[in-house]
Amino acid sequence: MIAYQDGLKADVSLAAKSGATWTTNAVAATPLLDGFSIAATTGHGTPYVAWGALDPSTTPLGSLVVQTR
């Protein structure tokens, strides 16, 4: 599985390969600018994905998002 930022939309997506086919799943498809400095781990058996999100309408501008998958 690969976590990546869709640069046109600034959304976070996960891609998984099965045989020769890749499937994608949007994890964060919001009006926020998501996907900066994406990290993932399977520590302790549970997969986690973390990334930076920017919301121009708030102060502070940035936040850290952590989700289990």
The model's pLDDT over 23-57, given as tens digits with 9 standing for 90+, comes to: 998 888 877 788 888 888 887 788 888 988 888 88
Residue 68 has pLDDT above 90, yes or no: no
Residue range 57-68: average pLDDT?
Answer: 88
If we measure between CA atoms, which residue out of 63, 15, 59 comes closest to residue 36? 63
Report helix, strand and coil shares of the chain as percent, to nearest 5.
5, 65, 30
Residue 20 has pLDDT above 90, yes or no: yes
Going across the sheet that includes 2-6, the strands are: 2-6, 11-18, 21-28
- pLDDT in the model for residue 19: 93
Distance CA(69)–CA(67), nearest Å, equals: 6
